[in-house]
Structure 1
Amino acid sequence: MRFRQVHLDFHTSEAIAGIGSRFDKRQFQDMLRKGHVDSITVFSKCHHGWAYHPTRENEMHPHLDFDLLGAMIEAAHEIGVKAPVYLSAGLDEKLARRHPEWLIRDINDNTNWVDGFMKPGYHQFCLNTPYLDILLRQIDEVVRNYDADGIFLDIVGVRKCYCHTCVNRLLADGKDPRDKAAILEQGERTYANYTRRVRETIDAVKPGLPVFHNGGHIRRGRRDLAQMNTHLELESLPTGGWGYDHFPLSARYAQGLGMPFLGMTGKFHTSWGEFGGYKHPNALRYETALSLANGARCSIGDQLHPEGVMDPATYSIIGAAYAEVEQKEAWCIEARNVADVALLTVEAVLSQGEESRSDRTGDSDTGAVRMLLEGKFLFDVVDLESDLSPYRAVILPDRIPVSEALASKLKAYAAQGGKLLATGTSGLNTEGSAFALDLGVRYIGANPYQPDYFRPHFELKSLPEASFIFYSQGQQVELTDQGTLLGHRENPYFNRDVFTFCSHKHTPSALQNSGPGMVESPSGIYIAWNVFEDYANNGSLILKETVQFALDRLLGTVKTLRTSLPAQGVVTLTKQSAENRYIHHLLYASPVKRGKGIEVIEDIVPLYETEVAVKLKEKAKRVYLAPQQVELPFLQDADGTVQYVLPKLECHQMVVIDV
């Protein structure tokens, strides 16, 4: 898989004339060179439904008079650039108006993406209808007629559908369409059948050709869905609704699946379909570096002008990022993440149902990753199938019910010396009645007071002794013989109510010990609130410092990496075993809010004299900056800790340790 990809959209209305009229092979190639691009995804069929090449299985755009797809593939291949081909699978607006009976319907008979035909926008097809056969013939045509380097199929996934085909099929099978479980089960079968038939269609012509089915998010805990692809493309445009929290969470999970993957951002100020919107070049420098640091190749989304001319401003901005990526690739090939901590995410454990575009992360998972990044912990994101033995600590964030199988796995892990950090209702059995793990506490029930207060029995890094407000739901527990108290709960005088309220926001603490709030046991540490969800929503410093204290205590002297890099910085450590070297990635940029909720990176502020300590089993032979090849002085202690100081960090720096 290439490192420097562009995903080139071309969703072009039939109401626009002159399609492709300004396409010029030399200009196309010049822009690819300007952008340092080594792979570009070009288009057979767009969301409007039109083909951009001669076709028997579709209709060519009425204002296109030549084979634009073929011309682009030829131009790309001529200069050594790969050219996967895009087809819109879920959307085909031309056909939607001819066959509205094939569209996905909700239980109220509304369509999606827009819920009717008197609004601008697209309508999604059900792949349980005759539309699937049409789509497969279109895919077959492209694979037979063009030298495509892969197939990218868009707007697909497990869907709940109440169209007449789906309802009638359930009735024929003796099932009740009013049963939501039956609807979802059929959605799973429909998607699996679609991916199987796509694979069969392609393999009949070009066996093994790469295929990716894009749904906007890789669902943690659904390895079966991930493995329906040959590789993964993690669509994650920070300004387009994903935010800067999504990619690290998604990438740290994808790393553990053993599949090639890339991170897909966009050149747009907002999101897909924005003409004339541009990010600051520093944003793309940071986002592509973040991909490299998380083991991913890079992809940047663009959209071609209807007349077929590539935009010089876009490829100037892309080129500023990809010129740096090109220099760094050698240290990123087959680089495996090094991690002390495993985060068993809520989505991975509760990953059921239809994909949700509105919940690409989940508050507990988001808050946990944010804390881990800010605390400079080395971590992986795992699911129920992951091997836990390599990790020194496993986090169960907020809402992880523990089945018998998971309890056995976690008990075996703890028996081998692994430590658990559980919060909220995590650790309870699937009935929610008692702890399935020995965490030093006995379960009483949800605390009737919310919010309530936490008083730590340990010294915090930044805050003095106090009773701290915790906004999330707390749990009432009592100590067992195995538990050691690390902090207690204090309830307010009363909950805020129409007849009992105090001041502007919530009632103060009654300053009475109301039971354990944080407990240590031989298995690990338990915190009795949904602290990660709380951090995602409120960002209180006390939440982060409580969790960081717990993890530092659990990891002790075996913590692999320590650094003076500020909270907004990001660190990862990877290993290239074949090269006998570790690569320490350091990144620093500070997104700011512009407009209503858009996170923007503009200024890159350099940092100086960043201190780093990396604990290794091997003897370090050399430490240097990559790609600059500048040697760094270092010391290695008797316990294997390699210490060095990074003189300057500007956006992204790799420090290589040869062993």
Structure 2
Amino acid sequence: MVHHDAISYAGYLIDHHWPREPYISLEKLSVEQYENCFRKAGIDHAVVYCKDHWGTCYYPTQLGMSHPAISFDLVGEVGEMLHRIGAEFTAYYSVGFDEHAARNNPQWVARDPQGQMLRHPKLAPRPRWHRLCLETDYMEFMHEHLAEIFQRYDADSVFLDILGHPHGTYWGAYLCYCDNCQRVFSKRYGYEIPHDPQKMRQHAFDIEDYKAHLDLKWFNSIRTAIKAARPQIPICVNSSAHFRQPLRDLIDHHFTEPFWGHWTSAIYCRGVGRGKFPQGGAQVNSEIYDPSPRDMYQVFAAKHWANGIRPLLYSPSQRPDGRLVTEEFNRLSAGYGELNNLRKLMTDRSTIKCVGVLYHEKTCVDLPDFPYGEDHTRSVKIIEFDQGKPDTFHRSMVAAGINLAAYAQVPVDVITEQDLDIHCLSNYQLLLIGGASRLDEKQASQIIRFVESGGSIILSGDTSLRHGDGTFRSDFLLADAMGVHFDGLDDRFMTNPSGSYLARQPHPVWNQLPETDLPLPPPRYNIKLAGAKVLGTHIDPCAVHEDEQWTSWWSPAPASLALSQDDPKPPLVTHHKYGNGHVVYFAANPFTDAMRWLGHGISNLIDWLLDPPAIRIRTDTPGSLGSTFWRRNHDGQVVIHLVNLGIEKLDGEVLAIPGITIEVSHQFGKICRASIAYPNTMELKVTDNPTMQLIAVPAVEIHTILTLDLWD
């Protein structure tokens, strides 16, 4: 067995869900070829299918269906091979999809409100496997099956797929209406599972609580079965970073798919899954037979390593006859081949604290009365984003907050409700809080203490404005620190893509922004000033975006600024000095990737509020450069990882990023030596000025790692 202190940083999954069809012959399947390809690619961790979505097993099972084309124990031989080459062996098990079980035991299949067997239309035109219900005897079948697997194999860890209702996944956005689930729900809440949209909105919080209850119950049941056979084996669950905290605490290793892209998802998983060997999975836009350029594989690995995340690439690299497509492993070696030179720089380190983006779990159920109209509201409101996966509104604001802070080129972490304690918050200079509507009194008091002690926050919309049940409070819990009071919701322009436009007051935070009326999406919040100063005001759109009032292709343009003295423009952006800290409030939603100007705008605000940040990067192309900042635990050395994100945007074409400067405040520490550690080694010149220490960095082609040694 591979001991987990030897952390794996080069993971791979041969992503094959093979149906029981004659064209899947697997006649040339060779574990020797597996070994040759894995060694060539530098793979130190492999996920091996024990049971896939079809219910196909890749070992001689006594309980399920072994693949008829395999005459030997593939799982056993691959597991032995992985240990022979010193790689981690993870046993994969599909929980929610098992087409063999579904077809042979239809009573185990989840049901829709009409009693029909539940399939997933979002997977069309790909295989539409049926969804299994874990409130049936299928759970007992899995117990026996998992016991069989872990009594047979000395796996280092287990990967459970398609389990429960994690936010942001296509398999989590469902409810089962079978008789068993109806009984569980009715016993817990006193009424049947609603399916009418209006009733679902009415009972949204019960539905979310129900999903969390099932997820915890199901995981504990499966976990007990696995640990009975292998007490010490670590368990990983797909998209574990998207479950509720009680379940996350029980999971040994965290994993998330790149629902927000590799960079943003890695930062999110690093924060939510800290201390749990967080791992990020991805496809490198590779269809195997039309592969991505080699540099894309290097960028894929670098984006995860830079964020302290273990990469796990998955691709369908096995042909129907069993042969591996060796070109995939040739290209993968471009990414993983350099690992041994970098491993010492990726261990024994902690992130440098500067900006924290708050993920507030309780806010992740959007409200039944959230004012988006019938066409846009569901009990748990979901929106579609880049890769077509569902997501709750607050979580999308967290993703945008990560991107905005990353654009500012300062250190950024995701923090959770468990971090809302002054002892943790005091490590940060600035918090970004996007629509954390259901903060409670204790959490709000800790944020206020953070501001009083000299911290800064940028917050938006209904942050701290709702009770735990989703109803509006009479005022913000953070009102004193914000210097404003709530004065009602302005829902006139909810259907407009741009619900408001910004009229700027003279202030340095607006410098170098486009000379036009800058848009923000709805909703809008009316506020009364109570000590805060106005940085910008609302300009109404000239019309409501409706068929009969607005027929242009674009969102309605801003109306005239001409207003009487009796009708002053309402505040949109405010600033309040509170104690030793600062609060900037947007009476709308700036935490969105939909408005280009916000990258520069929030970056300007961060510059002004931190003045200066402890450490940051200056570049003319902040959207194409990823930067992370670490401190080595044993000697305090600073490690900075720079990644050329533009390569992925250009589909593998490498355009080096020049003109990069590192700025380090004197308060952060005095630099005695600055060096490049990768891709070559060289010492860099440090220039001093009254406020900052400056280091010019050579152009970054794919990724560069620098180290800073500080005087004690």
- Report the TM-score, using the length of structure 1 for normalisation: 0.89
Partner of 2:390: 358
Paired residue for 2:62, among 56, 63, 74?
56
Which residue of structure 2 aligns with residue 211 of structure 1?
235
The count of corresponding residues between Structure 1 and Structure 2 is 637
Matched, 1:107 2:119: no
Q: What's the CA shift for 1:397?
A: 1.1
Give the structure 2 partner of residue 531 of structure 1: 590
AA of the residue aligned to 1:138: H
Deviations 1:453-507 (A, max 9, x none): 2122224343365433334332222322x21222222334554567765976424
In the TM superposition, residue 192 of structure 1 has moved relative to its aligned partner by 2.0
Is the CA contact (8 Å cut-off) linking 2:647 and 2:654 kept in structure 1?
no
Matched, 1:86 2:135: no
Q: Which amino acid aligns with 2:255?
A: E
Instruction: Summarize the Cα distance change of 1:403–1:583 in structure 2 as closer, same or farther, 3 Å threshold.
Output: same
Structure 1 57/611 Cα, relative in aligned 2: closer, same or farther at 3 Å? same
Task: State the alpha-carbon separation in 2 of the partners of residues 627 and 116 from structure 1.
Answer: 42
- Could you say which residue in structure 1 is the equivalent of 2:402? 369
User: Which amino acid is the alignment partner of residue 608 of structure 1?
Assistant: P
1:302 aligned partner, one-letter code: S
Inter-partner Cα distance in structure 2 for 1:54 and 1:500: 67
Which of the residues 168, 192, 213 maps onto 1:177? 192
2:646 matched residue in structure 1: 590
In structure 1, the partner of 2:484 is 441
Q: Does residue 573 of structure 1 match 2:622? A: no
Distance 1:526 1:94, change over 3 A: same
Tell me which moved more, 6-15 or 425-434.
425-434
Q: What displacement does 1:134 show?
A: 1.0
> What is aligned with 2:276?
259
> Share of identical aligned residues, percent?
21
- Partner of residue 42, structure 2: 36
Task: Indicate the residue corresponding to 2:496 in structure 1.
Answer: none
Confirm or deny that 1:410 pairs with 2:433: no
Structure 2: how far apart are the matches of 1:379 and 1:117? 34
Note the C-alpha offset of 1:623. 1.8
1:653, CA displacement in angstroms? 0.6
Segment of structure 1 superposing worse, 205-214 or 442-451:
442-451
Shift of 1:230: 0.7
Q: Equivalent of 2:182, from 152, 155, 167? A: 167
Aligned to 2:513: 463
1:165-221 Cα deviation digits (max 9, x unpaired): 22234456783223556665454333223322333223223221111121x46227x
Taking the aligned partners of 1:116 and 1:163, their CA distance within structure 2 comes to 21
> Helix, strand or coil for the counterpart of 1:91?
coil
Matches of 1:342 and 1:117, distance apart in 2:
35
| 1:649 matches 2:700 | yes
CA distance in 2, matches of 1:261, 1:355: 28
Q: Counterpart in 2 of 1:307?
A: 321
SS of corresponding position for 1:218: helix
Cα distance in 2 for partners of 1:288, 1:464 equals 36
Out of 610, 633, 648, the residue aligned to residue 555 of structure 1 is: 610
Please, which of 372, 376, 379 is the counterpart of residue 412 of structure 2? 379
- Identify the residue that residue 514 of structure 1 maps to in structure 2: 569
Aligned partner of 2:664 in structure 1 is 614
Alpha-carbon contact 1:268-1:277 (below 8 Å) kept? no
Aligned counterpart for 1:25 among listed residues 7, 21, 31: 31
Query: Given that residues 40 and 82 in structure 1 are in contact (C-alpha distance below 8 angstroms), is that contact kept between their aligned partners in structure 2?
Result: yes
Q: Which moved more, 1:311-320 or 1:488-497?
A: 488-497
Contact 2:255 2:269 in 1 (8 A): no
Are residues 1:281 and 2:294 paired?
yes
Aligned twin of 2:501: 453
Query: Structure 1 residues 135 and 406, CA, compared in 2 at 3 Å: closer, same or farther?
Result: same
The answer to which of 629-638 and 200-209 deviates more is 629-638
**Which runs of structure 2 are paired with 1:189-338 in the superposition (5 Å)?**
189-214=213-238, 216=239, 218-219=241-242, 222-236=244-258, 242-244=260-262, 246-254=264-272, 257-269=274-286, 276-303=289-316, 304-338=318-352
Question: What's the C-alpha RMSD, in Å, of the aligned pairs?
Answer: 3.0
Deviation for aligned residue 1:291 = 0.6
1:118-166 CA-partner distances (Å, limit 9, x unpaired): 9952011111111111112111111111121111111112363211222
State the shift of 1:11 in Å. 0.9
CA distance in 2, matches of 1:379, 1:355: 28
The question of whether the paired residues in 2 share the 8 Å contact of 1:449 and 1:491 is answered with no
Pairwise CA distance, 1:582: 1.0
Which ranges in structure 2 are unaligned for 5 or more consecutive residues?
1-6, 166-171, 195-202, 367-378, 383-388, 494-498
CA contact (8 A) 1:278 1:314 kept: yes
TM-superposed CA distance for 1:609, in Å, is 3.8
- 2 CA distance for matches of 1:607 and 1:111? 53
- Measure, in 1, the Cα distance between the counterparts of 2:515 and 2:129: 56
Matches of 1:497 and 1:19 in 2, distance apart? Answer: 57
Identify the match of residue 484 of structure 1 among 517, 521, 533: 533
431-440 or 287-296, which deviates more:
431-440
CA contact (8 A) 2:37 2:326 kept: yes
CA distance 1:171–1:347, shift in 2 (3 Å): closer
In the alignment, which of 437, 441, 457 is matched to residue 400 of structure 1? 437
Q: Which amino acid aligns with 2:639?
A: I
CA contact 1:570–1:586 (8 Å) conserved in 2: yes
Which amino acid is 1:570 matched to? G
Give SS of 1:623's match. strand
SS at match of 2:136: coil
Are 2:427 and 1:390 equivalent residues in the alignment? yes
Secondary structure at the aligned position of 2:674 is classed as strand
